[in-house]
Amino acid sequence: MRSIFALLPLAGLACAQTAPQGPPLVGCGVHGDVEILCGTHSPEDLEQTPDGKYLIVSQFVNGRGGTGAGMALFDLSKKTYAPLAIKDDLRKDWGDPACPGPVNDKLIPHGISLAKNVKGATRLYVVNHGGRQSIEMYELKKAAGAWELAWHGCVVSEKEFNDLAVTADGGFIASHPTALMTPGRGNVLSGEPSGYVVRWTPGKAEEELPGTRQGYPNGVLVSPDGRYMYFNAWTAKQVHKYDLKAGKDVAVASLNFMPDNLTWTSKGQILAAGVKGARGDCPAGSGAPCIQGFGIAELNPAVWQPKTVFDSQGKGNIIPGVSVALQAGNSIFIGAFQGDRLVRIDRKQ
């Protein structure tokens, strides 16, 4: 999701200026059952490469761009970060024919979605806020023992995207979290409907999915068979299961934190991760902005009852602004929309 600090002017709040700073961040390295992996920049979303050797890191830098923004690879064995190279290769059969061309070094990535073998390619779609509000479409390719991206097209929108999921037809489903809000008015943290989820199909205009107007629609997933869409209502602390064929919600799970992005586990479960709250939702006398606290929950798509996987309570200030949790092997990697680190915890089966 977009950094809460970037949203505060829209919400009419002053949290960033008035909230206490809280305890210092825990240092890099291993601390009991937690490993802090420094060296990145606002790693808002994560995907794993098909060979299982790397994480693709979307370095959001709180939506402002500048040094550190862009795509990176995290080497899981060496525990190092490196820029993810991008080449331009426009394809007429990717994206909207009206795409004005590559975004190049203006890219400010946000939510990302990786899909294997969609129309013969491994596709990585990226929400972009740099120079335009768009979905940038890349093909992930092997290169010199690692990976690179080939830019093939884009879809530009008048409204900000947040997260997305690639669909089997080469299109996508994506969230517009603030599409219902008037600039300079309203409280984005109220939990009231602020945006909605849309579907874009090649050759057609973007369409709003009925019944998806919620409190800050955020992370998005699509089931392997394409029947269901799952999306988070961040400020409402909910995860929705949505039947794409029927065009309606079929289940809603309530969490004790604000779910941001969603990812699949190796066993077909869904991981949701996010901060425990923001201004107005902090424990009395806590002495620190509770945006630093976070939770991770697992949901079984068939049962739709959340199960706690991790809670940061008592772990110290290990990572601020949590936005994603991704399983890779026997570990879960945690990313955030701010800060300099990923966090690794053991995946308890």
How does pLDDT run across 290-331, given as a tens digit for each residue? 456 899 999 999 999 999 999 999 888 899 899 999 999 999
Domain boundaries, the chain: 4-346
Q: What pTM was computed for the model? A: 0.91
Q: What is the overall mean pLDDT for the chain?
A: 89
Six token digits for residue 12: 């009419």
pLDDT tens, residue order, the chain (349 aa):
544 444 433 332 323 333 344 578 899 999 999 999 999 999 999 999 999 999 999 999 866 656 677 999 999 999 999 999 999 999 999 999 999 999 999 999 999 999 999 999 999 999 999 999 999 999 999 998 899 999 999 999 999 999 999 999 999 999 999 999 987 666 777 888 999 999 999 999 999 999 999 999 999 999 999 999 999 999 999 999 999 999 999 999 999 999 999 999 999 999 999 999 765 445 544 444 445 689 999 999 999 999 999 999 988 889 989 999 999 999 999 999 989 999 999 986 5
Q: Which residue intervals of 138-196 are DSSP H helices?
A: none
- Looking at residue 9, what is its pLDDT? 34
Strand partners, 222: 229
Position 281, amino acid = D
Query: Which SS3 state, helix, strand or coil, does residue 17 take?
Result: helix
Q: Which fold has domain 4-346?
A: Neuraminidase (2.120.10)
C-alpha separations of 332 from 101, 264, 265, 342 in Å:
36, 11, 9, 10
Taking a C-beta distance cutoff of 8 angstroms, is the pair 174, 164 a contact?
Answer: yes
Taking a C-beta distance cutoff of 8 angstroms, is the pair 162, 174 a contact?
Answer: yes
- Measured at the alpha carbon of residue 306, what is the angle toward residues 301 and 309, in degrees to the nearest 5? 110
Strand partners, 137: 125, 153
- Looking at residue 24, what is its pLDDT? 84
C-alpha separations of 255 from 37, 94, 264 in Å:
27, 37, 18
Query: Which SS3 state, helix, strand or coil, does residue 26 take?
Result: coil
Give 216-275 as a DSSP string. SEEEEEE-TTSSEEEEEETTTTEEEEEETTTTEEEEEEE-SS----EEE-TTS-EEEEEE
**Spatial CA neighbour of 90 closest among 102, 107, 105:** 102
Q: Strand 86-88 to strand 146-156: parallel, antiparallel, or no bridges (unpaired)?
A: parallel
Taking a C-beta distance cutoff of 8 angstroms, is the pair 79, 105 a contact?
Answer: no
